Amino acid sequence: MKSSLLEKTIARKDIYNGKVVKLHVDDIMLPDGTASKREVVDHCKGVCVLAVDSEDKIYLVEQYRYPVSSQILELPAGKVEEGEDMFECAVRELSEETGVSGSDYELLGSFYVSPGFTDEEIYMYFCRVDDKKDSHPDEGEFIYTQRYSAEEIFEMIEKGDIKDGKTIMAMYIASSRKLI
């Protein structure tokens, strides 16, 4: 039997407690008993939604992402609020960011964004857009809603014009399940 690679916490030092992230640096013990440190960013869970309308167009939002200094295209997405359930969060974010509502929700899966330094996990949903009324995101969201075919999105992924992890992953999973 393979032995455990567990890293034991010896002490925890809280560095920052923010609105989006918490940072702590822990003294740990490696499996062979030697001491080391781990820098950990705590982040709440997130969701994204791949919403397809009756014309087979997928909703993307364009927004400025300050950490990467660029205006990028992504699936509608957001952070799960305290006490909120993943599915509720998906419904809320889709509505807030695009103005549309969906049905036939299906969980595509979840993934750790970068388990070497953060616990963030993103849940990816698929849904079909109910109505095609002229939609508007909520006031105060600085985003442009756009609609593209799956082919157009895969072309943008191939060319490197779409670089957001959750968006790329949800597209491939939905395609492999023949949802798009």
Q: CA–CA distance from 28 to each of 7, 8, 22, 47 (Å)?
A: 6, 5, 18, 31
Task: Note whether 29 binds a second copy by CB under 8 A.
Answer: no
Residue 10 interacts with a second copy (CB under 8 A): yes or no: no
Q: Which one among 40, 86, 150, 179 touches a second copy, defined by CB under 8 A?
A: 40
Cβ atoms of 138 and 61 within 8 Å: the answer is: no
Q: What character string, x for contact with a second copy (CB under 8 A) and - otherwise, covers 77-116? A: --x-----------------------------xxxxxxxx
CA distance linking residue 11 with residue 66, whole number of Å: 33
Query: What type of residue sits at position 74?
Result: E
Residue selected from 98, 102, 120, 180 as contacting a second copy according to rule CB under 8 A:
120
Q: Clarify whether 139 is annotated catalytic.
A: yes
**49 CB burial (10 A radius; 0-12, 13-18, 19+):** buried
Size of the site for a second copy (CB under 8 A): 65
> What separation in angstroms does the CA of 101 have from each of 6, 78, 95, 127, 170?
44, 16, 6, 9, 19
Catalytic one among 55, 82, 139, 158?
139
Active site residues: 139
Binding site for a second copy (CB under 8 A): 2, 4-7, 15-16, 18-21, 23, 25-26, 28, 30-32, 37-41, 43, 46, 62-68, 71-72, 74, 79, 109-122, 142-144, 157-158, 160, 163-166, 168-169, 172-173, 176
